[in-house]
């Protein structure tokens, strides 16, 4: 498998960028930074563009999705774009009845509760992913040497939504199913792995230079449950994109106790949320894994001197890792002042990278 000679990683556009260098454990020319949820919510130009268009429609409009992806790169001078989409888009493209309800989140018309429900699920086809390829290609054509990061929700997070039928605080439904009906659970997570993997592969083949697997809800699990009932499906999802030559990143929230297991599914970089210092994450991973993170999003609305001190501490803590890409320990809060993000990027870029 390869990405082709015209791919940004292959033709020289992004291979030596600060982001890709850090992901590969090489010395970047400056400290790379991007923010999860940088595309959207906090930007007035995003809100203006989205007016009158629902979330799923905006994700599936190649022109709009591309423009939203590009907005934070223009505004903040971040070192990567993150593809604007949603983790339930693969479900929608497969034909699953799902919608994003304002103020609630993803809601399924019919939750998945039985083996028959899983067997009835439609298969995501490559043809259905054409709007994603178009949006990625439009974006990459305008990014130049700035890499695009593709993303997908990890199978556990997708399956958790599918079992609960809506967002959940404790994820009791999927946690019960994995023990009470392990065969159905395995079939469901394998379906989700196929959908996530195809979604990731479409983005990489269309021009993304890296890919991140988000496991938003894995922090609800203990280590044994993660290793036995979740990690195999995450590995299956990543099988779709192994060997392409693009760095693969794995991130979850509340996953401090799972970091080594999340790395072991077969990725190059581990994202760390705001709960664990990067120096400790580096120790737990044996000092062998490039890290991404982990500015606390809550401090983006703190006085500048407080935020600056925290950012410098994150830079110092991450310096011992083989590579460090600065990010938040979760997504940009909707009420964040965009000028603060720009100032944070300027601060990070002003600090020399580790030798």
The DSSP string of 201-253 is HHHHHHT-SEEEEEETTGGGS-HHHHHHHTHHHHHHHHHTTTTSS--EEEEET
Pairing mode, if any, of strands 210-215 and 98-101? Answer: unpaired
Helix %, strand %, coil % for the chain, to 5?
A: 50, 10, 40
- The residue with tokens 């044994």 is 224
The rounded distance, in Å, linking the Cα atoms of 295 and 47 is: 25
Q: Which of 13, 23, 31, 37 is catalytic?
A: 37
Residue 86 a catalytic site member: yes
Q: Which of 41, 133, 186, 284 is catalytic?
A: 41
Q: How far is CA 79 from the centre of its chain?
A: 15
81-82: strand order across its sheet: 81-82, 148-153, 210-215, 248-252, 269-271, 291-292, 324-325
Q: Which of 86, 194, 215, 296 is catalytic?
A: 86
Which is it for the CA torsion 318, 322, 326, 327, positive or negative?
Answer: negative
Burial of 120 (0-12, 13-18, 19+ CB in 10 A): exposed
Cis bond upstream, residue 294 (ω within 30): yes
Q: Is residue 210 within 8 Å of 23, Cβ to Cβ?
A: yes
Q: Which of 46, 75, 79, 161 is catalytic?
A: 161
Q: Which of 30, 50, 275, 284 is catalytic?
A: 50
Residue 41 a catalytic site member: yes
Q: Is residue 296 within 8 Å of 274, Cβ to Cβ?
A: yes
Residue 263 a catalytic site member: no
Residue 37 a catalytic site member: yes
Task: Kindly state the helix (H) or strand (E) to which residue 139 belongs, with its residue range.
Answer: helix 130-143
The rounded distance, in Å, linking the Cα atoms of 21 and 14 is: 9
Which residues are marked as active site?
A: 37, 41, 50, 86, 161
């Amino acid at each position: 498998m390869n990405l082709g000679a015209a791919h940004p990683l292959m033709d020289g556009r992004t291979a030596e960028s600060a982001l890709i260098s850090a992901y590969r454990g090489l010395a970047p020319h400056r400290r790379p930074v991007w923010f999860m949820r940088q595309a959207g919510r906090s930007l007035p130009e995003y809100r203006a563009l989205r007016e009158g268009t629902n979330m799923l429609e905006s994700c599936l409009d190649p022109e709009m999705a591309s423009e939203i992806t590009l907005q934070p790169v223009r505004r903040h001078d971040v070192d990567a774009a993150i593809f604007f989409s949603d983790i339930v888009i693969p479900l929608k493209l497969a034909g699953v009845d799902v919608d994003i309800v304002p103020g609630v989140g993803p809601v399924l018309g019919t939750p998945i509760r039985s083996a028959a429900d899983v067997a009835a699920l439609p298969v995501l086809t490559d043809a259905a992913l054409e709007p994603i390829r178009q949006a990625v290609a439009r974006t990459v054509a305008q990014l130049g040497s700035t890499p695009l990061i593709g993303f997908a929700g990890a199978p556990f997070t997708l399956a958790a939504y599918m079992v609960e039928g809506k967002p959940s605080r404790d994820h009791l439904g999927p946690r019960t199913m994995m023990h009470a009906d392990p065969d159905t659970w395995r079939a469901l997570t394998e379906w989700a792995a196929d959908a996530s993997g195809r979604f990731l592969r479409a983005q990489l083949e269309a021009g993304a230079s890296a890919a991140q697997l988000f496991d938003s809800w894995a922090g609800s699990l203990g280590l044994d449950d993660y290793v036995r009932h979740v990690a195999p499906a995450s590995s299956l999802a990543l099988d779709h994109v192994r060997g392409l030559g693009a760095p693969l990143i794995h991130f979850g929230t509340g996953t401090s106790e799972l970091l080594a297991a999340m790395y072991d599914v077969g990725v190059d970089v581990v994202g760390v949320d705001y709960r664990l210092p990067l120096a400790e994450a580096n120790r737990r991973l044996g000092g062998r894994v490039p890290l991404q993170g982990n500015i606390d999003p809550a401090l983006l609305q703190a006085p500048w001197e407080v935020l600056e001190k925290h950012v410098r501490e994150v830079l110092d803590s991450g310096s011992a890792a083989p590579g460090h890409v600065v990010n938040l320990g979760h997504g940009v809060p909707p009420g964040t002042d965009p000028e603060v993000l720009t100032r944070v990027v300027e601060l990070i870029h002003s600090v020399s990278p580790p030798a």
